[in-house]
Chains A and B, each alone.
Chain A
């Protein structure tokens, strides 16, 4: 395989098919994400968008097609998953923090245990990350003592502590109270502005329009339409896209 260079797409998805038993969820999806790009995947529930981003860090396997992350074939059976997971960070809808660890420990755990980095250095970085997600002073709080929005920001910091090259956000504001959605979105926007490559599955159309470089609309396992936000939201061509947008906007 040719060496990956930064001028090639960081994530390259080609004709991916994925089924859960009889149910085919992805029916030939292709898309590219370049370094520093922010893309949003939108679409009705059950259209396969979460499944797609879970395939990117091999939480789900695929039946056909290929997914390359910096030239690594994600679904190669001999893949060293650790190599992939160092490159790909993921944030979940339900935050999934480790409830028995404090905010700071949640962030420090993976760099220390997985990357075997120096605990003192990691601690400094973890504190800086908490500051970055605007949670200074919450170092010793347990997840159960934080609001949903705060937990989600710790989860983002936890993922960033691994210094990934691309971040996956799987409906990260869907479980939040309306008033805390904003603080999480601001955090993601900061990241995007810092040049982090981001792939988001989201229902926040206003946010998608604001931060995304490119929007993909999926329905029933295929990408129906895609384009930059300006054209996508104003001049959607496909009737399915228009119907979806009219319901949600």
Chain B
């Protein structure tokens, strides 16, 4: 196999699949994949949590809380995620405390990977709040009223009845947003998170002959990654389907 790619690189100089025979390049790809997966999984989970909590807070009787959520949504939805990443890392990163592992070096407690996760989660979370809110609005008031009449508290009504129904309505839109989120993790490149795009660019800067193959790899990996997410989400949608009910 390795010989085949070596041969190919010699015969077709633009198709140097260097990561298939050069161990250092291969390790870069593996590391990149690892960080891309970390970013994707962490951001998907965190942004969904932000969406759930935010949508709940939006229905709160406290005006202050509702305004805070609204301000948050406006900020994160109306500014580019790229700029947000730079802002979090370079602006907020300055004010975070540091610790010293060896008495010499000062290491910030939140690394660039940490900032990327925080920043991208808040970005996608803003959309998730809106997505869940739309789902919550689709639950009829009369259903909520029935719960109230049975003595359910506001919290119980939300967790037992409103949210499970709203979640089913929200799944297709949530699916779309999470797909976008996974693709947006490539922007963590901007703050030097060693994710897949970062590693690929490093490789093709070192070996311009490897540019096409690494680009091809990027496409293949993202198609696969998003494919897995979409497959999982569709399965989940089907599993949650209620017999005789619209969604």
Q: Does B160 contact A (CB under 8 A)?
A: yes
Query: Is the CB–CB distance between A92 and B142 below 8 Å?
Result: yes
Q: Does B168 contact A (CB under 8 A)?
A: yes
Q: Does B38 contact A (CB under 8 A)?
A: no
Contacts of A113 in B (CB 8 A): 152, 156, 160
Our pick among B146, B150, B245 for the contact of A142 (Cβ within 8 Å) is: B245
Query: Is the CB–CB distance between A110 and B151 below 8 Å?
Result: yes
Query: Is the CB–CB distance between B151 and A82 below 8 Å?
Result: yes
Contacts of A59 in B (CB 8 A): 145, 148-149
Report if A86-B151 is in contact (Cβ < 8 Å); known contacts: A114-B156, A144-B242, A144-B245. Answer: yes
Contacts of A158 in B (CB 8 A): 150
Question: Which partner residue on chain A sits nearest B141 by CB separation?
Answer: A96
Contacts of A142 in B (CB 8 A): 242-245
Question: Which partner residue on chain B sits nearest A110 by CB separation?
Answer: B150
Question: Which partner residue on chain B sits nearest A162 by CB separation?
Answer: B150
Tally of contacts, chain A with chain B, CB under 8 A: 74
Q: Hey, what's the 0/1 contact readout for A77-104 against B, CB within 8 Å counting as 1? A: 0000110011011101010111110000
Question: Which partner residue on chain B sits nearest A99 by CB separation?
Answer: B245
Contacts of A144 in B (CB 8 A): 242-245
Contacts of A74 in B (CB 8 A): none
Our pick among A94, A98, A115 for the contact of B161 (Cβ within 8 Å) is: A98
Query: Is the CB–CB distance between B143 and A96 below 8 Å?
Result: yes
CA distance A162 to B161 in the complex (A): 18
Contacts of B201 in A (CB 8 A): none
Q: Does A57 contact B (CB under 8 A)?
A: yes
Q: How far is the CB of B106 from chain A (nearest CB, A)?
A: 51
Query: Is the CB–CB distance between B150 and A100 below 8 Å?
Result: no
CA distance A84 to B148 in the complex (A): 11
Query: Is the CB–CB distance between A57 and B156 below 8 Å?
Result: no
Our pick among A57, A85, A100, A115 for the contact of B164 (Cβ within 8 Å) is: A100
Our pick among A57, A88, A143 for the contact of B244 (Cβ within 8 Å) is: A143
Chain B positions near chain A (C-beta within 8 angstroms) = 140, 142-143, 145-153, 156, 160-161, 164-165, 168, 242-245
